[in-house]
Amino acid sequence: MSNRLRLLKEMLIKNIKNSSQVFIIGHNTPDYDAIGAALGMVTIAQELNKDAYIIVNDSQQSLDPGVAKVIEESKEDYTFIDLEEYKSLADLDSLLIAVDVNKKYLTPLQDDLDKVGNIIIVDHHQETEQTMEATYKYIDYHASSTCEIVAQLLNSLQIKYSKNMANYLYAGIVLDTQNFRKNTTATTHDTAEKLYAKGARFEVVSKWRVANFEEDQKLNDLIFGSHIIREIGENETTEIKINNNSIQVYTNILGAPKASFVINRMKPHEIYRQDMLAKAADKILSNYAEIAFVFGYVKEDVVGISARSKCDVDVGRLLGKLEKIDPSVFPQLQIILPPVCTGGGNKQNAGGSVTTSDIFSVEEFFMNAMKEMAPEEETIVSQQENEEPIVLVKKQAKVKVLKK
């Protein structure tokens, strides 16, 4: 165990013991990593004889079906509450533990964080100016998932946990590594092996993640959908095919990676769950491109974004650009609530949201961000002794559209 993780363990034990009660929160519409880490944390709190509650403020319909199933089958052993229940229970002697999230706007508690006395963050996503203030922050960018961190804590504390708990934590690791295909270290595999010894099984996790036929069809329509526009002239008819998936090659970036930009161009205002956008981005990255951006409305006036990368392009930094601009740069209709313009993540996985009436303006923003990644300059790539330096000239983007 690293010194940092040992310090986290000490801070958790101290703060849990000194609190009146413990609340655990993940990000909005939690995925397997967020819910698995939350269940692991509540297990630690219970072991230290504290009342502990997991806050989930999303409707069951808005959750991934597998995540909803995990929550439902966990209710016999753990207490789940919503925002209103949290507000009625919380006091300044309470401890809040945020898992798989560090930005307040990504939780339902963004306006109610001051109801508790102490906050501890356990996460693996990049910090930004929007990261919530906390008593202690443990953010490990190298960890595959928050479940990996929490599983290490449980094992270090020698807390006995069930086969189900092992599967919950294993599911979080499987999800965030795309079945151990990315973002893994020796620690990831060691942690997974220990969970396997505790009863975790890949086939159990796979059953939770079995695709719903209608949802899978909706995803395929989003990724592969297209339509024909016919322009009828006096002497001829011209047909233009428009694909939802626009794949572009960025020759200005080392390796000239292919980037996929996906929008439901026939029905741009179709509503999707955020996790569906993430699944679409994962699918694109597995087979069709080195970088994937998927855009879709998650609410009537809010565009969700999911981004993935398997090259040198850091999608976390690209999505982080949203937090540094005025939301009014995106077209908006009359909106009662303040507009949002937020994003972030790590190099390989990122997400965000923008309040706008024009989803295509969000796509254009990221297309331009990609073009601007390598301004025209000379960069010395390598230089051997007594040899002329090899110089790479980075030019302004020349974007080539690949026709499907």
211 pLDDT band, cuts 50/70/90, is: low
Mean pLDDT across the chain, nearest whole number?
Answer: 87
Highest mean pLDDT among 118-122, 201-205, 217-221, 238-242: 118-122
Task: State the average pLDDT over residues 283-309.
Answer: 92
The mean per-residue pLDDT over the stretch 300-314 comes to: 92
Cα separation, 10 vs 24, whole angstroms: 18
pLDDT in tens, 52-70: 999 999 888 788 888 999 9
Residue type, 130: Q
Q: Is the pLDDT of residue 234 over 50?
A: yes
Per DSSP, the residues of 184-211 read --HHHHHHHHHHHHTT--HHHHHHHTPP
pLDDT in tens, 320-350: 999 888 888 899 877 666 788 888 888 888 8
- 239 has pLDDT over 70: yes
Mean pLDDT to the nearest integer, 97-103: 94
- Tell me the pTM: 0.71
Q: What is the pLDDT of residues 186-200, one digit of tens each?
A: 999 999 999 999 999
Residue in 360, 361, 355, 321 with CA at minimum distance from that of residue 338: 355
Is residue 384 scored above 50 in pLDDT? no
Identity of the amino acid at 351: G
Identify the pLDDT of residue 91: 95
Query: With pLDDT > 70 as the criterion, what percentage of the chain qualifies?
Result: 90
* Identity at 22, one-letter amino acid code: V
pLDDT tens-digit profile of 5-50? 999 999 999 999 999 999 999 998 899 999 999 999 999 999 999 9
How many angstroms separate the first and last alpha carbons of the chain? Answer: 49
Query: Distance (Å, rounded) from C-alpha 169 to C-alpha 374?
Result: 39
